[in-house]
Chain A
């Protein structure tokens, strides 16, 4: 905020016209900017939908796409009481419902829509492993519509509220912020590529944050409650049977397991307590959502790579104030998802969206981009890290790992990402302490 006040404040249109080549994009106001940015964001999502989904053509269990489809056929064809209960008709070992009820209701509604056009995709039992042109299209459209109906309005609400209190907000900055939020590569790749419905829970969360900003606390509680009921944002219906880590997640447990075989040392029960303890204790220093989200990701039990979306969200909300933080966390979140995306056949969208994000982030302006980058002594380190990441990408794609350590490359990738996340975690915690202290000191000065 301090840096922004030091800059030239926009007095009238002429100044902007001469300085910034992007003036023609924003001269019609925020609503118009939001309209075409969201259209473009929708276009990008539709284009990503053309690509494969998780588990495509991969029997017997397929992937998340099949899970979501299965939940639609379960919720459509069985009474509510049976949805979470194991029975002959609802075999919980085949993608049993393990998300809270709001997801179940949403599956029901989407199931109704799909049944209208293509009932074979959601019929009980016979639709297992159903893969067709129309089926895929309809499923993709359910994600698109959820995104457009929940996430986009939430972002607009947030931007409207966040910038209404700042009379000197530059139009180009606001447009940039909207673009950054709507074109977040991780969210698009997971929701519209891999196939999930994170946009709903994340959208509700954004709405809750916006409500807090506009002092509508009740609305905030309501929206956040909905978000929790859609996808556990802070508590999980933890499937403890699956073990403390599944897959290769840039998580504290996984990384340290390279050194300490946690699994062998403790029973599941004590591991549960340990992780809960770690999560809660790291939550303590934080007030800002960013830090709780981060700690959740870093320490909690049973985390998937996609949970990185959670700390990513507040980072994007704060994009204007901490642009470098956002760039760094986005790039590494993307990288940590790379093995998953590669399995899904989503390398091309990964590349395209990474380039798109970088372009939007570095949108050329007439001024020097002094506000967007950290001091130059960091840039050497960051360049080295970026180069290492690029090399790792290429190695992962082209070389075969040694037979003794078949997951060596994934481990290295996760180590790199985890190290960066740790650094960022410390940074955000430190900033928060400083913020608290300066607020405290200001209060003291006022009293004197």
Chain B
């Protein structure tokens, strides 16, 4: 006995409805400068001709997303103009933050989440109703999306929706459509291009196969589709001779290796290592010159912000990301399985996050949310997702630094932890473990015997291991230190230490996730 299709849609909308009510209530909460960025884009796409979109400098928040996003803002600006013309006025609208503009922009984010709703619905269409419901809960009620999209202010929801739609087509075997939607996504936000190598290899091997003639025919079909999409986006700018300017805006490599708040990625450890080495070598009497450049500022000529370790350039990071991606690409080349695509793409975004140039902590959304869709496949994935989502959500806490939002972010995280525990316990009661449909399960079973996770699976119920528990307790310690103890022990000195602690501690969790995903991909069986 299962749910009817109509009831399950009802259920999905019910979840979405509840989440929407909370998002509506959060409309007057803190919003970052990203809010003004998007408002400015509404104004400039509305009041300026196409040729000036990428060259306008009235506001410091210049357009740096690809053209489809600009068109999207253009469409939104029509409604904005109807509601309150001051929103789209290029001069009078600067830093405009009255109730109308805040409500308007927030509601556009809430409505655009419908795209994500459709994406996750499409991705889980063929699963059994129980699993499907649980995945919906994990994605729709994710605290990361609420914190980043609905408080801090961004439009990640609908972009992830496009990603899910693309992945759903790939998993169905409809590669052309999958490629199409991915190309569309790239023309909305080019940051998603980190997964392009995976897509390329997979589509080449899975779609463009079956003999030379058929392969070539399909390759040209795919090429034509992708070119058409890119043309629709960039052609007007090529026509205006603007393409150089567009590209320069989209790839601002004048920025530093790290964002002002260090995203919890590999480079945090690299920087810390450099600092430690400098410290100890200086103690031993070596004369180490202090670097002029900083990690967050731009590249200053040839000088490196590192004292001892080699300098890192954007090219270096690019090579390292590719290197980290290579095991995944090799696997995809050897055996392009549709069922593994989501994991590979999530892995690609993990590598991009860990080793990329000037990464924002918000980029963790790109791999954590897709991983939610495969978390219910087996106990190991569930446990991994449990840890990863808590760590990533916590790493986003510094984004909401006002006191007013403190209870909100804490409650969101705690609530989600409980919901996840309920979801996974419901999924992994006695007997459920054996029914997991992933082909990797036998592999996972063998891996599990070493840890005590398997004992828990046999007894029923979702249990995390001791080391993971202590890591989560450590998160609590870091938070108490940052909020309370640091000011008691250090007063006003060393104000960057709490944030640094968060970056480092969460970085450990993200590195663990990367290793776990890599191991999973390497050990996945080939038929």
Measured CB to CB, the closest approach of chain B to A15, in angstroms, equals: 10
Write out the residue numbers on chain B whose beta carbons fall within 8 Å of the beta carbon of A364. 7, 10-11, 14
The answer to whether A50 touches B28 (Cβ under 8 A) is: yes
Q: Counting CB contacts under 8 A, is B24 at the interface?
A: yes
Measured CB to CB, the closest approach of chain B to A40, in angstroms, equals: 6
Write out the residue numbers on chain B whose beta carbons fall within 8 Å of the beta carbon of A265. none
In the assembled complex, the Cα of A230 lies from the Cα of B427 at a distance in Å of 47
Q: Counting CB contacts under 8 A, is B25 at the interface?
A: yes
* Interface membership of chain B positions 126-147, coded 1 if the CB is closer than 8 angstroms to chain A and 0 otherwise: 0001100110000000000000
The answer to whether A348 touches B418 (Cβ under 8 A) is: no
Write out the residue numbers on chain A whose beta carbons fall within 8 Å of the beta carbon of B25. 44, 47-48, 50-51, 348-349, 352-353
A15's nearest neighbour on chain B, judged by CB, is B1
Write out the residue numbers on chain A whose beta carbons fall within 8 Å of the beta carbon of B3. 21, 366
Give chain B's interface secondary structure class. helix
The answer to whether B408 touches A47 (Cβ under 8 A) is: yes
In the assembled complex, the Cα of A104 lies from the Cα of B133 at a distance in Å of 49
Write out the residue numbers on chain B whose beta carbons fall within 8 Å of the beta carbon of A366. 3, 7
The answer to whether B134 touches A24 (Cβ under 8 A) is: yes
In the assembled complex, the Cα of A46 lies from the Cα of B3 at a distance in Å of 35
Measured CB to CB, the closest approach of chain A to B124, in angstroms, equals: 14
In the assembled complex, the Cα of A1 lies from the Cα of B134 at a distance in Å of 33
Q: Counting CB contacts under 8 A, is A137 at the interface?
A: yes
Measured CB to CB, the closest approach of chain B to A134, in angstroms, equals: 8
Q: Counting CB contacts under 8 A, is A276 at the interface?
A: no
- Which positions in B face A, CB cutoff 8 Å? 1-3, 7-8, 10-11, 14, 17-18, 20-22, 24-29, 103, 129-130, 133-134, 403-404, 407-408, 411-412, 414-415, 418-419, 422-423, 425-427
Write out the residue numbers on chain A whose beta carbons fall within 8 Å of the beta carbon of B423. 24
**Which of B21, B411, B427 sits near A39, CB closer than 8 Å?**
B411
The answer to whether B422 touches A36 (Cβ under 8 A) is: yes
The answer to whether B134 touches A42 (Cβ under 8 A) is: no
Could you jot down 10 A-B contacts, CB within 8 Å? A24-B422, A27-B422, A36-B418, A42-B407, A43-B411, A47-B25, A47-B26, A50-B28, A348-B24, A355-B21
Write out the residue numbers on chain B whose beta carbons fall within 8 Å of the beta carbon of A360. 18
The answer to whether B408 touches A359 (Cβ under 8 A) is: no
The answer to whether A50 touches B29 (Cβ under 8 A) is: yes
In the assembled complex, the Cα of A18 lies from the Cα of B29 at a distance in Å of 41
**Which of B21, B134, B425 sits near A352, CB closer than 8 Å?**
B21
Measured CB to CB, the closest approach of chain B to A223, in angstroms, equals: 28
Write out the residue numbers on chain B whose beta carbons fall within 8 Å of the beta carbon of A439. none
Write out the residue numbers on chain B whose beta carbons fall within 8 Å of the beta carbon of A51. 25, 28
The answer to whether A359 touches B18 (Cβ under 8 A) is: yes
Q: Counting CB contacts under 8 A, is A23 at the interface?
A: yes
In the assembled complex, the Cα of A40 lies from the Cα of B408 at a distance in Å of 10
Measured CB to CB, the closest approach of chain A to B201, in angstroms, equals: 38
Q: Counting CB contacts under 8 A, is A91 at the interface?
A: no
The answer to whether A21 touches B11 (Cβ under 8 A) is: yes
* Interface membership of chain A positions 11-41, coded 1 if the CB is closer than 8 angstroms to chain B and 0 otherwise: 0000000110101110110001001100110
The answer to whether A39 touches B17 (Cβ under 8 A) is: no
Write out the residue numbers on chain A whose beta carbons fall within 8 Å of the beta carbon of B10. 364
The answer to whether A32 touches B7 (Cβ under 8 A) is: no
Measured CB to CB, the closest approach of chain A to B459, in angstroms, equals: 15
**Which of B24, B422, B427 sits near A32, CB closer than 8 Å?**
B422
A358's nearest neighbour on chain B, judged by CB, is B17
**Which of B11, B28, B426 sits near A23, CB closer than 8 Å?**
B426
Write out the residue numbers on chain B whose beta carbons fall within 8 Å of the beta carbon of A42. 407, 411
B4's nearest neighbour on chain A, judged by CB, is A366
The answer to whether B14 touches A47 (Cβ under 8 A) is: no
The answer to whether B133 touches A21 (Cβ under 8 A) is: yes
Q: Counting CB contacts under 8 A, is A447 at the interface?
A: no
Measured CB to CB, the closest approach of chain B to A334, in angstroms, equals: 14
Q: Counting CB contacts under 8 A, is A102 at the interface?
A: no
Write out the residue numbers on chain A whose beta carbons fall within 8 Å of the beta carbon of B7. 21, 364, 366
The answer to whether B129 touches A352 (Cβ under 8 A) is: no
Query: A32-69: which residues lie under 8 A (CB-CB) from chain B?
Result: 32, 35-36, 39-40, 42-44, 46-48, 50-51
The answer to whether A50 touches B404 (Cβ under 8 A) is: yes
In the assembled complex, the Cα of A355 lies from the Cα of B16 at a distance in Å of 12
Q: Counting CB contacts under 8 A, is A363 at the interface?
A: yes
Q: Counting CB contacts under 8 A, is A351 at the interface?
A: yes
B411's nearest neighbour on chain A, judged by CB, is A43
Given contacts A21-B133, A43-B22, A47-B22, 16 further A-B pairs with CB under 8 A are: A21-B129, A24-B130, A24-B133, A24-B423, A27-B422, A27-B426, A42-B411, A44-B21, A47-B408, A50-B25, A50-B404, A137-B403, A348-B103, A355-B17, A355-B24, A359-B21
**Which of B2, B11, B407 sits near A46, CB closer than 8 Å?**
B407
Q: Counting CB contacts under 8 A, is A112 at the interface?
A: no
* Interface membership of chain A positions 55-98, coded 1 if the CB is closer than 8 angstroms to chain B and 0 otherwise: 00000000000000000000000000000000000000000000
A47's nearest neighbour on chain B, judged by CB, is B25
In the assembled complex, the Cα of A25 lies from the Cα of B423 at a distance in Å of 8
Q: Counting CB contacts under 8 A, is A356 at the interface?
A: yes
A349's nearest neighbour on chain B, judged by CB, is B25
* Interface membership of chain A positions 327-365, coded 1 if the CB is closer than 8 angstroms to chain B and 0 otherwise: 000000000000000000000110111011001100110
- A-B residue pairs, 9 tightest by C-beta: A24-B426, A47-B25, A352-B24, A356-B21, A43-B411, A18-B1, A36-B418, A46-B407, A352-B21
**Which of A18, A40, A137, A353 sits near B404, CB closer than 8 Å?**
A137
Write out the residue numbers on chain A whose beta carbons fall within 8 Å of the beta carbon of B412. 43
Write out the residue numbers on chain B whose beta carbons fall within 8 Å of the beta carbon of A32. 418, 422
Write out the residue numbers on chain A whose beta carbons fall within 8 Å of the beta carbon of B130. 24
The answer to whether B26 touches A28 (Cβ under 8 A) is: no
The answer to whether A351 touches B14 (Cβ under 8 A) is: no
In the assembled complex, the Cα of A359 lies from the Cα of B415 at a distance in Å of 19
In the assembled complex, the Cα of A16 lies from the Cα of B140 at a distance in Å of 24
The answer to whether B27 touches A348 (Cβ under 8 A) is: yes
The answer to whether A356 touches B18 (Cβ under 8 A) is: yes
* Interface membership of chain A positions 186-197, coded 1 if the CB is closer than 8 angstroms to chain B and 0 otherwise: 000000000000
In the assembled complex, the Cα of A42 lies from the Cα of B25 at a distance in Å of 13
Measured CB to CB, the closest approach of chain B to A57, in angstroms, equals: 13
In the assembled complex, the Cα of A250 lies from the Cα of B525 at a distance in Å of 71
Measured CB to CB, the closest approach of chain A to B417, in angstroms, equals: 10
**Which of A23, A25, A44, A351 sits near B22, CB closer than 8 Å?**
A44
Measured CB to CB, the closest approach of chain B to A118, in angstroms, equals: 11
* Interface membership of chain A positions 364-397, coded 1 if the CB is closer than 8 angstroms to chain B and 0 otherwise: 1010000000000000000000000000000000
In the assembled complex, the Cα of A35 lies from the Cα of B419 at a distance in Å of 11
Measured CB to CB, the closest approach of chain B to A39, in angstroms, equals: 5
A365's nearest neighbour on chain B, judged by CB, is B7
Measured CB to CB, the closest approach of chain B to A65, in angstroms, equals: 16
Most chain A CB inside 10 Å of its own CB: which residue of B2, B28, B134, B407: B407
Write out the residue numbers on chain B whose beta carbons fall within 8 Å of the beta carbon of A23. 426
Measured CB to CB, the closest approach of chain B to A135, in angstroms, equals: 12
A354's nearest neighbour on chain B, judged by CB, is B21
In the assembled complex, the Cα of A351 lies from the Cα of B272 at a distance in Å of 50
Measured CB to CB, the closest approach of chain A to B129, in angstroms, equals: 7
Write out the residue numbers on chain A whose beta carbons fall within 8 Å of the beta carbon of B27. 348
Write out the residue numbers on chain A whose beta carbons fall within 8 Å of the beta carbon of B26. 47, 50
A40's nearest neighbour on chain B, judged by CB, is B415
Measured CB to CB, the closest approach of chain B to A175, in angstroms, equals: 11
Write out the residue numbers on chain A whose beta carbons fall within 8 Å of the beta carbon of B2. 18
Most chain B CB inside 10 Å of its own CB: which residue of A18, A44, A46, A137: A46
B13's nearest neighbour on chain A, judged by CB, is A364
B103's nearest neighbour on chain A, judged by CB, is A348
The answer to whether B408 touches A43 (Cβ under 8 A) is: yes
Write out the residue numbers on chain B whose beta carbons fall within 8 Å of the beta carbon of A363. 14
Write out the residue numbers on chain B whose beta carbons fall within 8 Å of the beta carbon of A356. 18, 21
Measured CB to CB, the closest approach of chain B to A397, in angstroms, equals: 14
A26's nearest neighbour on chain B, judged by CB, is B422
**Which of B24, B408, B415, B427 sits near A36, CB closer than 8 Å?**
B415
In the assembled complex, the Cα of A27 lies from the Cα of B134 at a distance in Å of 14
In the assembled complex, the Cα of A353 lies from the Cα of B18 at a distance in Å of 10
**Which of A24, A28, A353, A359 sits near B14, CB closer than 8 Å?**
A359
Write out the residue numbers on chain B whose beta carbons fall within 8 Å of the beta carbon of A25. 422
In the assembled complex, the Cα of A200 lies from the Cα of B22 at a distance in Å of 24
